[in-house]
């Protein structure tokens, strides 16, 4: 999602987008001119129908009635066109000034840096996405092993992306390779509590981001076949890799 967002607002994409906007504005001008001509013609026909009605002899009721009906039809046509014209004008009430285009181009260069900055919070990143994206739909059934992501931008544009479905266990929390390597190095000559203390002094943390305990170290040693003949440090709960009962996955 982030990659699609930053690509959509990249300088190159915005250059294409502004050219498209220029064409849209020209199309709107042509459409406005066509509506003007259509409305002008309808008003002329309504005035002509009125003159024909005014010129008829009132005594000739049959002709007068028919001319009045035609006049009313022309007036209704004018009213319909005026409503449609007003609606079209409301929907077309947007344009970009030269200054606004310059600001957008400048922001497009800075946005990746702003997004990645440590001072930018996740809430602010979400707000940026909400400003650009109308909705997101996921389809995980049409293609095996793939998830189709359909992004509808607020501009009305829709893009589709294919994302590989995660394999079972992919993305699970793992103890860092550095911590595992150090445990392997110390396993034959140090107790679990000594290993945990040294890992903590080195600033290393478990897969859950916590300080190492004898349970953490013991689990990794048993998993990797390093626990044979090891002292248990007097702990009765080494079979549980985590106080909460959850196991860490390497």
Query: How many Å apart are CA 57 and CA 60, to the nearest integer?
Result: 5
3-state helix, strand, coil in the chain (%, to 5): 55, 10, 35
DSSP string, 183-230: HHHHTTTS-HHHHHHHHHHTT---TTS----HHHHHHHHHHTT--TT-
- For β-strands 158-164 and 146-153, DSSP reports them as antiparallel
- Residue 59's pLDDT is 84
- Residue 239's pLDDT is 39
Query: How many Å apart are CA 191 and CA 207, to the nearest integer?
Result: 20
Closest CA to 240 of 219, 213, 224: 219
| Contacting residues for 63 by C-beta, under 8 A, at least 6 apart | 56, 57
Do 196 and 175 meet the contact criterion of CB atoms below 8 Å apart?
Answer: no
- Residue 108's pLDDT is 67
Write out the chain's pLDDT in tens, 250 residues: 777 877 776 665 566 556 656 676 777 888 889 999 999 999 999 999 999 989 988 888 888 899 999 999 999 999 999 999 988 888 776 666 777 777 766 766 777 787 888 888 888 888 888 888 889 899 988 888 888 999 888 767 788 888 888 776 656 678 888 999 999 999 888 999 999 999 988 888 888 888 899 998 998 999 888 865 454 454 443 334 444 444 444 4
- Residue 184's pLDDT is 92
Closest CA to 128 of 102, 105, 154: 154
Q: Tell me how far CA of residue 155 lies from CA of 17, 23, 30, 32, 47, in angstroms.
A: 10, 15, 21, 21, 42
- Residue 250's pLDDT is 41
Question: What's the Rg (C-alpha) of the chain?
Answer: 36
- Residue 21's pLDDT is 64
Do 207 and 249 meet the contact criterion of CB atoms below 8 Å apart?
Answer: yes
Start-to-end Cα distance in the chain: 28
- Residue 244's pLDDT is 44
């Amino acid at each position: 999602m982030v990659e699609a967002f930053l690509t959509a607002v990249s300088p190159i994409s915005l250059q294409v987008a502004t050219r498209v906007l220029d064409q849209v504005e020209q199309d709107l001008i042509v459409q406005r001119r066509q509506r003007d001509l259509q409305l002008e013609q309808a008003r002329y026909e309504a005035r002509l129908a009125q003159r024909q009605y005014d010129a008829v002899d009132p005594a000739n009721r049959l002709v007068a009635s028919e001319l009045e009906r035609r006049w009313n039809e022309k007036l209704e046509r004018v009213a319909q066109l005026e409503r449609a014209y007003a609606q079209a004008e409301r929907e077309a009430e947007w344009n970009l000034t030269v200054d606004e285009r310059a600001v957008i181009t400048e922001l497009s260069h800075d946005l990746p840096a702003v997004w990645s900055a440590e001072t930018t919070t996740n809430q602010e990143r979400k707000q940026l996405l909400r400003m650009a994206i109308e909705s997101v739909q996921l389809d995980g059934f049409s293609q095996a092993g793939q998830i189709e992501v359909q992004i509808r931008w607020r501009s009305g544009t829709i893009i589709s992306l294919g994302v590989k479905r995660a394999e079972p266990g992919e993305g699970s929390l793992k103890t860092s390779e550095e911590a595992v390597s150090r445990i392997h190095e110390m396993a034959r000559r140090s107790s679990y509590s000594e290993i945990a203390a040294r890992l903590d002094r080195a600033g290393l943390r478990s897969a859950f981001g916590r300080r190492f305990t004898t349970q953490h170290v013991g689990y990794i040693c048993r998993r990797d076949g390093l626990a044979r003949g090891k002292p248990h440090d007097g702990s009765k709960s080494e079979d549980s890799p985590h106080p909460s009962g959850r196991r860490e996955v390497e």
